[in-house]
A = this chain, B = another copy of it.
């Protein structure tokens, strides 16, 4: 089978999903990740519709993309007007992307009842808009909105809208199941009918049609992935979808399912197998960026996708994973989890300790015991797969190798608010470094920033190298918010210096306590590293 091309619309149609919002900078980060994965088309937004999407294309102009063609999205020109005067088309061109996608109306109900337009003018809008963008040197992807509903209602007219796009020289005709109400066998049979009708009009055999079809499906029946797969079977060569299936209502077709299905089950390798193994990380990255809780049961990439609970199943997969696994989890960068056994945990901890340079077992605290401790902490809300820095400190604590380079004596943070004026925050802090004590005070943008500033100031007199360290990311997640303001809170902090990035974690019902844990771990990690390096340097000089 021909490789199918993937057209990602996470950054445009994905953001129609409830609670899915990205800043322009976040969009750019996601676009770069999609490019790294080898996605062929990356739809960045609708430049004519909002300032954020405009800002994204401005920022993207300075970036280079290796694999993906950046694509701007918009509508056909307005009724009874000229393309070169159409604000939306002008904004599309100003985005300066190699490809543009425009949508037009295929369903008479929309043309006549919603748009109050004439069928002929609608055809002219499609033909002229495609032609105009094409003449400006853009590759034009034509999205036939509501195509399947339109075809069910009036097949002749729906096909005529496609012919208008063909006359305008669209590169792809993307058939959209906009309302998500179609069934897989309908998709397949309608696509067949469309090919037959177009072939008949062109006076060629259906197999000789030199048209490229795409498919865009929605998940209102839980069938978006199946409908995309059916369309590929019926000849579609371009599949539109979003990472994690984000999108309006029930979402779009989930590329984290479609890509591995095409690659591993339909011999249509849309991306390389090396890139396929990055799929789980991409899914996680996009959900973190959207601050959506990753869905554990998400096919292929979810945390539970290869998790086995039933006793019979666990017994069988220990003999042969294929007994209860349809593909190897590593294919998509995922891992097998056994929910009733900690056997897999032991080797993980040993592997991780080696990676972090911690020697286990010296004090009788072996990997089995550590697995149990970690499981208990994870039960309480910790999550060490995202916090290597804290994991290293934890392993050192278990094995009595942890040497704190400072100790907290006490802190006090005060936040005050007066009527409508914004809050002010300040912190006082007392720490001990060896036998020396230091007490400082600092202000901040909020309590955590005040603590950060106070700690930095207190440590500064002992460790001048701290200047190179910056906090670069700060994430807060409420774990099970149903207890309201008494819920457990998880704070993740990412820090960096000139040569490394590390992450630390804190968990507490008190957001300040959780932030402090993560903050303290981050500084301890940095100071331990400085101390090792100095120690190493001295040794070098002594030699």
Binding site for B on A (CB under 8 A): 15-19, 21, 23, 25-26, 49-52, 109-110, 113-114, 178-181, 183-185, 219-223, 225-227, 229-230, 233, 245, 248-251, 254, 257, 260-261, 265-266, 291, 295-300, 302-310, 313, 315-316, 319-320, 322-327, 339, 341-343, 375, 378-379, 383, 385-386, 407-420, 422-423, 425, 444-449, 451-452, 470-487, 489, 493-495, 508-513, 515-516, 519
Contact = CB atoms under 8 A, between A and B. Distances in A.
Contact of A415 (B320, B413, B486): B413
Contacts of A449: 484-486, 509-510
A410 B422 CA distance: 11
A516 B19 contact: no
B478 A484 contact: no
A270 to B, nearest CB: 15
Contacts of A482: 25, 472-473
B49 A343 contact: yes
Nearest to A408: B419
Given A109-B322, A486-B449, A251 B297 contact: yes
Given A414-B414, A444-B486, A474-B487, A113 B319 contact: yes
Nearest to A339: B18
Contact of A248 (B114, B309, B323, B513): B309
11 contacts: A23-B479, A23-B480, A113-B319, A222-B257, A245-B297, A248-B307, A410-B418, A446-B508, A447-B447, A447-B510, A452-B484
Given A183-B265, A265-B183, A477 B476 contact: yes
Contact of A342 (B50, B315, B493): B50
Contacts of A179: 324-326
B419 A248 contact: no
